[in-house]
Structures are given as structure tokens and as C-alpha cells.
Amino acid sequence: MTELSSGLSSEEARQRLERFGPNEFGGTGRTQVLRQFLARFANPLVSVLLFASAVSAMTGDVAGAGIIATIIVLSVSLDFVQEYRAGRAAEALARRVALTAHVLRDGKVWELPFSAIVPGDVVLLAAGDLVPGDGWLLEGKDIFVDQAALTGEPYPVERHAAPAGTLPQQPQALSPEVPYALFLGSSVVSGTGRMLVLHTGSRTLLGRIAGSLERPAPPTAFEIGTRQFGLLIMRLTVGLVLFVLLVNLLFQRPLLESFLFAVALAVGLTPELLPMIVSVTLARGALRMAKENVIVKRLSAIQDLGAVDVLCTDKTGTLTEAKIRLERHVDIDGNASEHVLELAYLNSFFETGLKSPMDEAILEHREIDASQWRKVDEVPFDFERRRISVLLEREGRRFLLVKGAPEEILPQCKGFETGSGTVQGFDAAVRARATQLFDNLGEDGFRVLAIAWKEVEPARDHASVADETDLVFAGFAAFFDPPKASASLAVQALIDSGVAVKILTGDNERVTRHVCTQLHLPVAGVLTGKEIAAMNDEALRARVEACNIFCRLDPMQKNRVLLALKARGHVVAYLGDGINDAPSLHTADVGISVDSAVDVAKHAADFILLQQDLRVLHAGIREGRRTFGNVMKYIMMATSSNFGNMFSMAGATLFLPFLPMRPLQILLNNLLYDLSEIPLPLDQVDEEDMQKPRKWEMRFVRDFMLSVGPISSVFDFLTFYLLLRLFAADQVLFHTGWFVESVATQVLVIFVLRTRQSPLRSRPHPSLAAAALGVVALAVLLPFSPLAPYLGFRPLPPLFFVVLAAVVLAYLFLVEQVKRSFFRRHVGSGHA
């Protein structure tokens, strides 16, 4: 066993990291990358195409089979490389806000990422920390941990230091029932201590049962929508493929070629680029958000952020500067009291839980000598009692010092301390005086804590909640947190963007109203925790819409408010940074925390703000809408020209004596189309699409497909007619002409569909324009290249390009008119 007093040496830690691996789940390295690449070939359509091309090679068409296989590999590689690079970029950003632990090594305390912790490390723990591995508690004071993720226990459990000599010979015997065992996935609610790490990564209890505990996050509305879209396309694909096979069999065409054509048609119809477009767009969005000081932990949450229409936040640090100062310490008459300051200081000094900003303000206000006092016990803070007590001893006498919310402490008092130091009875009239002073401080914008005490018998060595009665009221500590100058403009910007801002706070109504007045924020309605406690869920749902201030809330009441808003159809974001915020961060559609937050909150959040400012969040919301807009562009493309071309191809089999396009030409068409769409994530989104939340609507996608999709088919059939009548095209010329027309129409239409405005007013990103024009130019040049005979092409007559220009311009003009009419209808009906 390593020397526990100084921790591991750096060399020993390095060796153990090589032996046990990083403290994380899942595979890494080249093997994992290769597995991800090969998984792309598990796509049924890809597998069938490769098998069919192999059969084609064995029957003599080696060149055609080789070209098909090459195109498939290029398509799969293109998809994989783009998505892999996007994933690596997102992971690099996430590492910037990776969880860390304080580890003892070489006799010094180092702050190290969780991934660097190894068995044998000694870790220092404090309230708000996540436990970085499985192990024993070596020493601790008032350590309570929340291990609900492992055991389902609803309340924190106390952990005690392992008795001397009980360190296990077989560390795999760890069990949640052992009173000194700690586990990865649990969090420290209060207290401090040291633990010896015995297991890391997949060897932890959480790692062994990760399959059941670490389930994927529930799909977002956008993910559900894209899945529905994919299923719709697949159903259409199956129908068209079966139709094509049936027609070719009836016309007694070659079976293998007909089968290859049908499968290639399915590939052309399948939106196989959608996952890559989504991944790359999200990663690009994450990189842009990082420049705005927003780090993305869960990529799919970016789309949810763009759909957010309600932001719930505490006021501290968002509406205020989070620079809390102790301004006053007064007795019941409102006079300055040094005794109140001393009692508040001693309570904060000896408290072992996570110190609040008000604790820090007390300790920074003035240093008081606490050397004459000895701590005996503590009753940690919780959000039901909203107070904390410490049992202290001095000169043989023991006192319970209590600090907390005035609403909770005043009812527990039976006496009060006068300015002269005497104690008198706490009757109704005195309570009214104390309450009035509390209200006056709140109206002046002060956050207030009540300070009380009582003397207990000298033999008392344990304190409990039951002891927090018959207290002597000493006075109030009043704190001031100045309003943030930028908050008013930031909140107004959010409101103008269609995001309602609701304040969920533990402070009282008067303090919150004062801050809102200072920032010129209108108060629409107020609900208190006491009122919410008296409501059922239906009543709360009826009230949350009209209220924008929720005061004196405990964590469960915050959760209820979020659930009520979600039940009314809102997409809700929650901004929090404390231990008590973790449940709400999980409940919200989008959880947002800050870099200075406790580990528990950062772990639960989807986004981390490096700068605690609503302006940063507003920029992030706009980026979410930009990401949604660019993904929708691809979907609108897939439901219009691409789908129309494939539908035309299926229809052409009815009257053509040959296949309308060879299988390898369909695959090449699909590859070129994919190449043209790669820069789509770089494109700008119109300002009108950034001004309000955007949600996925399958009805919108379906209606757009039915409105715009058939236009492509109409112009395809016009091209068929012209090729057969005007150019008297044989099979090769027909294939060549339609290939060029098909690529031109389905690629160039991006200039029309990428914006609701006129294409002349909204310009595409230069990379997108260059890719689209380059792909069309390549399609035009291919019939004149040395590859033409292998691809089944031949040079086209000059007149064809004149006709092609006229067809493409007419097509784009008609799509523009239908698009404008479509958006006028849908904007009027509220679906766009």
C-alpha cells in the first residue's frame, strides 16, 4: 500500500496510468477509430451494393464493378472523415471544462483531470465535488454524499473514515452498504475529507453497470424529427425500389443490372449525408460558440438551445454582479451590532459544507479571532430547513450558533438579545418588529440572513435539527449584490428574440423586485415557494405562464416550475451553478452552468459559460438557431430536387426501353451531390430566421416536399422529352444528358432554397458557392474526359447546353415562386 501521507510519486502514477488506462469509459485509440469507420459499411444498402458489384465483377464487368466500389468507398470515407473531425473538435472543446480533482502526489496537492486519476491516488474532497473513483474514505468530517445515481436513495448518506487497519486486501469487495466506501458517480453534499482511490474507469461500480445507468440522453425534438424524416424517406424508397424491380422484371430486362439499378436508386433516395451534415454543423456551431465563451458538452443540445423560448435563471451573477458584500449587521432595533457580526463569522468559519457567497462575504468583511472556540458538531445546511448550525465550545460552555433564512429562524426563537446584551421574551409584538426590519432591508435591496443562538449543557457532544428550537434572536446580517449594468440590455435582447426570462430564486420577493426595478425589468407576476407548495401540478401549470418571478424556492419547487413550463409546450433552459441546481439542470431541455460552478452542476449541464453574462447566452441561442437553419437547408434540398430526380428515374422505367441511368451513374450523381453540400455548415442564416425560436415540425417538412418536390420531376420529364425528340438520343446520349441535367438542377437549387429571401439579396458562403459551381462544372466536363467511356458517357452536342441553360433557369425561377408562396402561407399559419 502506498504511503498515504504523501500520495503516489509522479513516476508511480505514470506507470499506473499505463497499466490501468485513463479514468474513463469506452474504447479509445486507433482500434476504436477503425471500428467506427468499418461500421459505416454495415449500412444494409452499402453492403448490398458491394455484394452486387462483386457479383458483377465475377460475371465479366470488372471495370464497372471497380468504379461502383470506388464510389462507395469514397462516399463512406467522405462521410466518416467529416464526422470524425467534427467529433474531435467537439471533444477538444469539452476538455476545456473537464472535471478536475485535488490529488495528493509527491507530498503536494495538484489539480488534475479525472482522466489522470489512478488506483492508489489520495484525493481531497469538499462539498460540491464529484467523487472521481471507487475507494475508501481515509479521513473525513461531516461527510454526506448523494449516491442516488447508484442506489436510488433519495437523501444524502453520511460516510465515516475507515477504522485503522481495515483497508481491504481485496478492493473489489466494495459495496454501497460499507459506511466508509465512496463511489464514482456520487457527489459530496457537505463536509471535507480524503479518500484512497481503489478503482477507476470501467473497473468502478458505475463502470460495471454503465450500460444500465449511463443510458443515452432522451432524444431531442430535433432528433425525433430527423428520425421521422428518415423513416418517411425510407418508406418512399422501399415503395419506389419495389416498383422499379417489378417493372424491370415485367419488361424482362437483365436481372443483375436491374437489381443494381434498384439498389443504387435506394442509395440516391436515402439521405445518407444527413448524419454527417448534422454532426459537422453542430461541431461548427460548437466552435463558433466557444468564441462566444460558451463551451458545448452535448452537441445535440445546440438545436434545443435554438428552440428555447423560456430561460429560467437565478438573479445572482446573471442579473447581479455576484460580488456580494456584507453591508450591515444589526440588532432588532436596526443598530449596528458587533455581536451579530461575531456570531455570523463563527458560524461561517466553522461550517464545513460548501460555503455560499454570503459566507465568503462574512469571512472577508473582517477577520475575527476564533482561536478561543472549538467546534464540537454541525447540522449541515439543507433546502428544507434553509439554515445551518454549528455547536461550539469556549471556556467550558457550549453554544449552538444558527444562521439562515429569517422566515425559518424567527419562528424558532423564544427570546431576543437587546442592545445592552440582555435577553428578553420573543412575543408577537417583538416578532412583528423583527419582521418589519427584515421587510425594510429587503425593500432596500439587501439579502438578509437571521442570526440566532442558544446555550446548551456542557456535556452535549452532538447537534441535531431538534436542537434548533428555543433560540435567542441576535439580529440580521444584510448583504448587497449590485445589479449588473449589462443585464437590462441582455434581457431585452432575449425578449426581443422570443425568449421569456423567468427568475427562480431563493431570495424573498422584496429583494427580487428591487433588483428588477433597478434594471427596469417589468414584473408580470410573482409566485412564492409557500404558494407553490399549496398548489397541485394542474394549478401550477395554470399560473406559471403569467409569472416571471418565483421567490423563496427550494430545489424541488424549481423542478416543479420547469416541469409545468414544459407541460405547456415550452422549450426550457435553466441556468444554475450550485449543488441544489443539479436536479433542475437535468430536468430542463437545456441545462446551462458556469465555469466557476461546483462539479455537480457542471456535470449535469449541457453548456458551460466561461463568462457569467446573459449576453453570452444570447449569442449561444442565436448560434443554435443558425445550426438548425443550416440542417433544415439540407432537408429541404433532400425533399425537393434530389427526391424529385429519383422519383423521375423510377417513373422513366415505365416508358424507356432501357434503364434511365446506369447504377454507377446514379452513385456518381449521389457522390457529386454530397460533395456540393459539404460546405453547407459554413453558410449564413437569414436574420429573420434568427429572430425567434425554431422547432422541428414534420408537417412543415412534408408540406414543403409536396409543394416543391414535384417541380423537379416535371422538369426531368421535360428533359426526357427533349432528349428523345429534339436530340433523338440513344441510350448512351440519354444517360449522359440526363446525368448532367440532374446534377445541375439538384445542386444549383441550393441557391434558391438556402434562403427565404431572393437569391440575389442573400448571398451564400463563398465555399458553398464554389463547391456547387465546381460540381456542376465537373458534371459538364466528365462526358468530354478520358473517363467518359468507363462511366458510360459520350460528348454532348453544343445545342444541348443551350437547352440545359434554359431548362435550369426556368426550373430555378419556378422553384423560387413556389417557395415564396409556400412561406407566405406557412408564416401566416404560424408554422415557419
Q: Which amino acid would we find at residue 157?
A: V
How would you classify the pairing of strands 590-594 and 310-313? unpaired
Do 390 and 378 touch, CB atoms closer than 8 A? Answer: yes
- Whole-angstrom Cα distance, residue 320 to residue 487? 8
Sole residue written with cell 478520358: 786
The gap from C-alpha 188 to its chain's centroid, in whole angstroms, comes to 24
Which triple of cell numbers denotes residue 405?
433564512
What is the rounded end-to-end Cα distance, in angstroms, of the chain? 65
Q: How far apart are CA 118 and CA 20, in angstroms?
A: 7
What are the residues whose beta carbons fall under 8 Å from the beta carbon of 443, sequence distance 6 or more? 510, 514
Q: How many CA atoms lie within 13 A of 695 on its CB side?
A: 14
Q: Per residue, what are the HEC states of 25-76?
A: CCCCHHHHHHHHHHHHHHCHHHHHHHHHHHHHHHCCCHHHHHHHHHHHHHHH
3-state SS, residue 21: coil
Contacts of 675 (CB under 8 A, 6+ apart): 78, 771, 775
Alpha-helical (H) ranges within 726-765 are 731-748, 750-753
- Distance between CA atoms of residues 130 and 147, nearest Å: 10
Please tell me the distance from the alpha carbon of residue 42 to that of residue 825, in angstroms, as a whole number: 42
CA distance 769 to 663: 28
What the block records as the C-alpha cell of 279 is 454532426
CA distance 577 to 113: 20
Q: DSSP secondary structure string, 382-424?
A: -TTT-EEEEEEEETTEEEEEEEE-HHHHGGGEEEEE-TTS-EE
Query: What SS3 class is residue 193?
Result: strand
Phi, psi (5° rounding) for residue 303? -65, -40
Q: How far apart are CA 539 and CA 535, in angstroms?
A: 6
Active site residue 314: yes
Q: Tell me the one-letter amino acid at 442.
A: G
Contact by Cβ (8 Å): 358, 343 = no
Closest CA to 574 of 548, 544, 606, 547: 606
Judge whether 676 and 742 are in contact, CB under 8 Å.
Answer: no
List the catalytic residue out of 142, 146, 304, 314: 314
> Nearest Cα to 755, choosing from 683, 821, 703?
683
- CA atoms 565, 567, 569, 575: torsion sign: positive
Phi first, then psi: give them for residue 617, nearest 5 degrees.
-65, -40
Q: Check the CA dihedral 450-454-459-464 and report its sign.
A: negative
Tell me how far apart the alpha carbons of residues 495 and 330 are, in angstroms, rounded to a whole number: 40
What the block records as the C-alpha cell of 26 is: 469506452
Residue with cell 412583528: 432
From CA 678, how far away is CA 277, in angstroms rounded? 7
- Give the HSE-up count for residue 501: Cα atoms under 13 Å, Cβ half-sphere: 25
Question: Facing residues of 592 across strands?
Answer: 575, 607
Residue 575 pairs in a beta bridge with: 313, 592
Residue 447, classed as helix, strand or coil, is strand
Q: Which residues belong to the active site?
A: 314
